[in-house]
Each structure stands twice: as structure tokens, then as C-alpha cells.
Chains A and B, each alone.
Chain A
Amino acid sequence: MNSASSEVAQHSARETLSRVELLFRLACIGLVVLGTASLFAYAAGWLTPRALTPARMIDAFERANGQHTGFRRNHAKGLAVSGHFESNGRGVALSKAAVFQPGIVPVIGRFAIAGGQPFANDTATSVRSLALLFTLPDGEQWRTGMNDIPVFAVNTPRAFYEQLVASAPDPATGRPNPARMSDFLARNPASARAIQLIRARPKTSGFETSTFNSLNAFRFMNAAGEVAAVRWSVVATASKSTATVPSAGENYLFDALIAAIQHAPLTWHLIVVVAGATDPTNDATVAWPTDRQRIDVGTLTLDHAESEETSRARDINFDPLVLPDGMAASDDPLLSARSAAYSESFTRRAGERKEQSAISNAEVRK
């Protein structure tokens, strides 16, 4: 009763709003609320269905490769490995990252074949990849995903998407349409040049003798605050496989790797390449001149192979921007896009039922 009477008192103290004024004020409120909600929808990408988002990038992978639940949308076929990295301390000159202090850190990794087909046959032209996670003493992590190609085929996320769409099977024939790929290459001369370099790369016998390259550039910062643009590579110490290795069969690259790693630990040199003043850091299709400073910062040893069925590597997102203090992204637009797309792929597969990997534990023990 009390509140009702004071309400009356308040209302009588004010002029009542005319009907027009009331409607105007209500419309203003509606506009503010609707405007805020629209901005939110725009930020979320809901009003721009043609814009390239991480979800649409991963959709393109699924269209190109088919649905393979539980698997990575790219580099789907793989094998988990583990070992350690022994730093020789020479990296300290470039980066204050704890991984370059002299000493040993554990490493878990994954060899894979590029592409979204988890059961594709290994071939001589398959692009081989190596992803690594270094666990630093203070709990920081360094994750990197590298490939055995000299340069990347595209230099922007948009070009990556268009290449993926161009290489997807044509619904009419079930096969990729070569005309679409030549059209893509005509419109993207940087990719055409890069693909020539990729095709011409020297191919070693297998994973265990390959060199894997970061392709994207990064920034290293040392304790003095000096910044250097770098790329890195892991270079196999063995030029020939020491084990008797299979050279045929649908998983021959992985079978050879398993045989080699079970025969003896495999080692790679981690080489950091420092950019020259004019070397592009935002274009992964361009190789840097071969005379650039190359610093051997330590040795990677991988001594254990395990199927993804049981390894925790299956559930690691090898996001190339999980970096320790002392390393950072360059201005290469592919890096943020990789980080975003990997996260989307990780989130999708994390929620899916897992199927047996092509490289099963039975394959590892064979």
C-alpha cells in the first residue's frame, strides 16, 4: 500500500508522456538494444556469411576430404613419437626462451602425412610433417608444426581456402577438376612459383631422413631485448636409414619410420635460420637466400613410437602459436589463421567418437 501511494505521488509530480512521446522513447530503447545485439551478431560473423572464418575453413577441409570423425581435419594420418631435445646453449644469443638454455627438455611429437585423409596410402610425393611439443622446466610450452617442403604453397588464408576448394572433388565426377586448379594458379602466381619449388624438392627415403621446416617466420627476442626474424628446421643427422626398411605397402613411410626408431634412436639438428634485412617474413611462399646465418641450437632425439590409439599426442593441438617467452609470431598472416583453424579442428574432433588410426598399435608392434 505504502509503495503504491508513493508511486502515485511520484507520477503526479511529473508530466505524463504523450502517446507520441512514449512511442518515440520506446522506439529509442528498442533501437539501442537492437543496435547492440546487431553489433554482437556482426562481430560473431553471423551477418557476413561469405567472410572466411575458422569454421568455414574447416568446413572446406571436410568438403574436400569427406567426414572422418575423431581425426584431425588436416595431417589426419599420423604416428605419435616421444624423446627429448638437448640444447647446446647457442640459441640463447637469439632467444631468451628457456628451451635454449643448455640442458634437456622432454618432447612429444607426431609424424604425419599432409592432407585430411586418415587412411590415404603413403606415396613418394606425400608431404611429410613433424609436429613437436617441448615442455620447458617452468611449465611453458613450445609447439611447432613443420613440413618437409621448402616453402608453403600459399601466402594468405584466403589463398589457402581457394586452393582447398579448387582441389576438392567435383560433385559431378567425384574427382578434382584440373581446370579449377589451373585457374587458381593463374590467379595466384606466388602459389604457382611455390608449387614448382615444392615439386622439385629432393625427396629422401622417408620420415627418418627428412628435413622439416617451420615455413612461417617467427620473431625471437634475446635477454638483451634484441629481436630477430627467424625460421627453423630440424635436419636429420642420418642421410640413409640404418634399418632395413620397407619401401612398399600402404603405410610404407610409417612402417619404415617405426623400424628405424626401434632399431636406434633417431636424431635431428634444430637449425635456426636468421633472416636478412630484406627477407620477407610475411610470405611463406618465398624461400630465404641459402647464405643466411644458420645456428645449430641443439639435438632432437626421438626414441619411442606409439600409435595415436594410446598416445596423448592424439589429443594435442599442435598450434604453432603456443610459444614460450622469447618467441613470438611474425607478421605472417598464416600464423594466426593456422592457430584459429587448428583450434576449430581440435574442438570438433575432441567431441567426436574415435576410430582406429591407420597406424595402429598392431602396426607399431609388427
Chain B
Amino acid sequence: MTPNPEKNAQYALRSRVLHWLMATLLLSMLFIGVSMVSSLRHYHHLVALHRPLGIAILILAVIRLVNRHFSELPPFPATMSAKERLIASASERLLYGLMLALPVVGWAMLSAGGYPIVMWGSFHLPAILPTSIALYTVLRKAHSLLAFLLFAVFLGHLSAVLFHTLVIRDGLLRRMLWRTPRT
């Protein structure tokens, strides 16, 4: 068979690095988040980790958004219908939105709750909202809801990639992997 150029298509190396770094951080954060609010014993250590990790994700998300803007993307595989492409693009936008919104909402929530936003040692971030328990209540609920939404979108993303890899077998996953694609 003739080599298919689409099968060689890969994301830029920096995009792949950002993708896997953020995938690890985001999934860790989702698990840290639900664990800490249900744990008396580990709450303190997990919260202390959750805050700086959240800010790290916010910074990386901004870098990723800029990178996304200046990167050339590999074309969609031919196996994807127009509708699937639409869903893929929409879920990508949703993921970007959530990875930016969650840390900002968390930061705003702690600000409204009157908490110091401690990163490490004496280093802390300024409040981005005035103290208001009414705002805190809304933001606290929003933080959880957005996190559950992010986890649901992640599961959808995981299912779709596994389906492409194991059932359609169009090499979709290789576009995001390290090894050089087969020809």
C-alpha cells in the first residue's frame, strides 16, 4: 500500500509534552479534590497540595492556549465524520475552558471565603474578590460542578480515543504519542 500521509501526522512535540503533563496534573487534581473533601485525616495535606497545583495548572493552561493558537494541528483522521469532528472540536474547547475556569473559580472562592491563598512558605496570592459568603457559596458549588463536568468530559475523551485505537484502529492515539509514527 502507499504510505498514508495522515498516519504520519503528529502534534508538535511541545503540544504533546503539554498534553501529557496536563493530563497527569488534571487527573491528579480531580482525585485530590474529591479525596480531600471526603477525608478528615488527609484533608490538610491534600488542600495544601491542591492550591499550588491548581495555580500551576492555570499557568500551564494559559501557556497551552497560546501554544494551541500558534501551532499547526494535524488534520482529522479520515475515519471521523463531520459530526464527530464537530463533537471533537467542541469537547476540546470545553476542556480548555474548564482547565482555565476551575483554578480561577477556586482562587475566587478562597478569596470570597476570606481565606489566605497560601502557595508555599510565606508566599501567598492576593485575593481576587472581596470577602463575601454569598459569593463564596456560589463559587464553592460551581467549583465542584465544574470539576464533575471536567471528569465527565475526560471520560468521554478517554472513551473516544480508546474506541478509535481499539475498534476503528485509525492510529488516532499515535498523533499524541512519543514514538515516531509507522509508515
Report A's interface with B, CB cutoff 8 A: 3, 6-7, 10, 13-14, 17, 22, 25-26, 28-29, 32-33, 36-37, 39-40, 43-45, 51-55, 57, 98, 138-141, 157, 312, 315-317, 319, 321-322, 324-325, 329, 333, 335-337, 339-341, 343-344, 346-347, 350-351
Contacts and interface: CB of A to CB of B under 8 A. Distances in A.
Nearest to A335: B44
A32 B133 contact: no
Contacts, number: 128
Interface stretch (B17-25, B87-95, B100-108, B156-164): B156-164
A339 B44 contact: yes
7 contacts: A29-B162, A37-B155, A44-B37, A53-B39, A337-B41, A340-B40, A347-B140
Given A25-B167, A37-B155, A350-B136, A43 B47 contact: no
Contacts of B41: 157, 333, 336-337
A340 B44 contact: yes
B42 interface: yes
A321 B122 contact: no
B133 A350 contact: yes
B35 interface: yes
Contacts of B30: 40
Contact of B131 (A53, A312, A339): A312
A315 B151 CA distance: 31
B124 interface: yes
Contacts of A329: 44
A54 B78 contact: no
A262 B40 CA distance: 40
A13 to B, nearest CB: 6
A44 B158 contact: no
B35 A316 contact: no
Top 3 A-B residue pairs of the complex, sorted by shortest distance between their CB atoms: A45-B38, A340-B43, A325-B122
Nearest to A160: B40
Contacts of A98: 122
B38 A44 contact: yes
